[in-house]
Amino acid sequence: MLPVGGQDIQKFCEERGFFFPAGLLARYVAALAAKPFVILSGISGTGKTKMAQLVAEYYARTPSGDSAADPAAPATGTGFLFEAGTRTDRSRVAFVPVRPDWTDNQAILGFLNPITQQYESTAALELILRARRATEEATAAGRTPGPYFLILDELNLARVEHYFSDFLSLIESRKKGAAGAIEQESIGLHRADQVEVDAPRPDGTAETLTVPARLELPANLYVTGTVNVDETTHGFSPKVLDRAFVIEFEDVDLEGFRTNVFTHAANPVELPRQLPPFELATRTHFAALPAAAHEHLKAINGILEEARLHVGYRTAAEIALFVKRYSPMLVGRTPEVAEREALDGAILQKILPRIHGNRPRLELSLVRLALYLRDGAVPVTADADTTVEIGAASPVFTTSFRRTVEMLATLRGYGFVSFFK
């Protein structure tokens, strides 16, 4: 990856008129680094899409005078200069609004037109092909390829399982080979001998990209989907939620929006200036998880197993990798406090979004989970009628405890609960 310096992500966003708490940005970056598929959920107008775009622009920087394809070539186009010596390479970011009529993968991967024998390409496919080419060139040069970002706006206007199922399957087919290299399955795109497309660049010119007969997803591709939950959208199946980190936007500070003085809690966070290279979550990461975090996850999984909502090995490994990525960002804490705070974020983003169901099925499990998140110990005498409130005492896992109590209140008030509001 090309080295760049200068301002951090939060400052970069603020100069463009958007304030995001550093902790929220850090959780998003750590989630991308642990699993390159993140869902941003919350009420409309809270900045989900803007955060995804700005973080992508920040990490798609290259030194001025460089291009993604040829580091020795002069820069061309209208890339946005945001600090001396660097620019955003907009060919590494694709913003794709999802349409409600998407029913298969052609909206993402395109298709070979049987009449014209031309490949009908898409912005998403062209980004994937650029990321694939960058990976091949970086591998040949012995360096790490830069990241590429696909932003799917209004991810759930169509059923994600219909148009995005190939992606979901391919990212889970990745495994480490005998030599340590990452291996994965591929998807067939066509059966022609040679297929090329003329892909537009951000500067208005075009470049020729080769569409392979079979496509593997490059490891330097990062996907973010933004979602709203209302009567026009679709819900998420466990298949989708099991393959993503979910970050919720719900804090709205209108006074800060008016005065530009925000009151969000601001614990010290050090945001990375470069996105860590892709790392496949494996059993090795879980084995390296601190013993205390391991015991907490075992206890939480045992509580959720009663409702058949416990996590599997893949999710456990991804949680461990998230803790590894997020903990170093939490500066000014002891290692134990940083690890617990990182695990709190993982529970909020990876475990709680999977919880949904009716009161008879979930109430006792949610009560026991809330008490565990508050006290850090498995409750002995709790029953389904136990009252759990957000009090003055400091819970062991602050953010996930508060969200669990909210979900419990919703379950008791409406008889059904889902993480998505």
Q: What is the mean pLDDT of residues 328-343?
A: 95
Main-chain dihedrals φ then ψ at residue 420, nearest 5 degrees: -80, 125
Helices (H), 233-282: 238-241, 254-259
CA distances from 322 to 297, 343, 349 (A): 13, 8, 10
Q: Is the pLDDT of residue 235 over 80?
A: yes
- Residue 211 scores a pLDDT above 90: yes
CA–CA gap between residue 346 and residue 55 (Å, rounded):
20
Please spell the DSSP secondary structure of 117-134, one letter per residue: --EE--HHHHHHHHHHHH
Work out the average pLDDT over 385-396.
86
Residue type, 387: T
pLDDT at residue 69 is higher than 90: no
| Residue with the larger pLDDT of the pair 238 and 39 | 39
d(CA 344, CA 367): 17
How is residue 161 written in tokens?
């399982």
For 202-224, what is the mean pLDDT?
Answer: 93
At residue 238, the pLDDT reads 87
**pLDDT single digits (tens) 353-387:** 999 999 999 999 999 999 999 999 999 888 888 99
Average pLDDT, the chain: 88
CA distance 158 to 297: 34
Report the pLDDT averaged over residues 209-217.
95
In this prediction, residues 264-283 reach a mean pLDDT of: 85
Domains of the chain, start order: 9-240 (3.40.50), 281-418 (no CATH)
Confidence of residue 182 (pLDDT cuts 50, 70, 90): confident
- The whole-angstrom separation of Cα 247 and Cα 251 is 12
Taking residues 257-265, report their average pLDDT: 67
Determine contact, residues 105/168, Cβ cutoff 8 Å. no
Spell out the long-range contacts of 132-140 with Cβ–Cβ below 8 A and sequence spacing 24 or more.
Answer: 132/215, 132/216, 132/218, 133/69, 133/209, 134/68, 134/69, 134/218, 134/220, 135/218, 135/219, 135/220, 137/69
Locate the DSSP E strands across 147-203. 148-153, 175-176, 182-183, 187-188, 196-200
Rg (CA), the chain: 22
Q: Return the sign of the alpha-carbon dihedral for residues 420, 34, 162, 53.
A: positive
List pLDDT tens digits, range 404-414. 999 999 999 99
Would you place residue 262 in the very low, low, confident or very high pLDDT band (cuts 50, 70, 90)? low
- For residues 406 and 7, the model is more confident at 406
Overall average pLDDT of the 303-328 stretch: 95
Per-residue model confidence (pLDDT) at position 390: 86
| pLDDT of amino acid 263 | 62
pTM (predicted TM-score): 0.90
